[in-house]
Chains A and B, each alone.
Chain A
């Protein structure tokens, strides 16, 4: 089964980002396919470079990079939201972590059509 996830919450706020990560890991471990994880609104802060997690706190950003590696999944970052939150400037992706890529909302539409299941994660 192919899944697309929409993540709207930042990694440092609430539980939704972590829940999405856990779900993505379960999808991969269960032998399913992760078509796309689309980060929109404050969720784009997941892709922000040079953020350090507090000591003894799980580093969700590097865990998402692991999802991209292990699941061969697209980690798509909404370009409009990225510009709003200072994660990217237009199509320049200097501030974006490896494994993530700037995308448009059209990619969300395509991913939804290409998936059997679509889930939103938001606090």
Chain B
């Protein structure tokens, strides 16, 4: 990640409220203005990743679909906290092709080198 990039960190569970969706909206806005940020999923935010999320039960669109569409908007860096995946039983989850696991050392570097961190 270039050191001057904005980092949008989403730690909210995908369907516990509107926070995670607000984070993705902010990331897309930065991209629309030619400043595509890096996105980091951590904590319960990683629960947006499992594929085949059914929409009907919670009445909101699948955030996984939104995550999959981010490269279309030039957001081509999706970091996923490895420890959070493990904590939520998703250690073996196949990530989107453009995503990468971040260990604690990398997380520290991402957070310290970003020009701004938006935390959702």
Contact = CB atoms under 8 A, between A and B. Distances in A.
Interface of A: 6, 8, 40-42, 80-81, 84, 104-106, 108-110, 112-113, 115, 118, 120, 122
B29 A108 contact: yes
Contacts, number: 46
Contacts of B18: 41-42, 81, 84
B117 A40 contact: no
Q: Is the interface of A mostly helix, strand, loop or mixed?
A: helix
B112 interface: no
Contacts of A80: 25
Contacts of B116: 112, 115, 118
Given A112-B116, A122-B119, A41 B29 contact: no
Q: Is the interface of B mostly helix, strand, loop or mixed?
A: mixed
Interface residues of B, number: 17
Interface of B: 6, 17-19, 22, 25-26, 29-30, 32-33, 35, 116-120
A105 B26 contact: yes
Contacts of A122: 19, 119-120
- Kindly list the 7 A-B residue pairs having the minimum CB-CB distance in the complex, ordered from nearest: A105-B29, A118-B116, A41-B22, A120-B119, A109-B33, A109-B30, A112-B116
B117 A120 contact: yes
A105 B25 contact: yes
Contacts of A41: 17-19, 22, 120
B77 to A, nearest CB: 17
A110 B17 CA distance: 27
B111 to A, nearest CB: 12
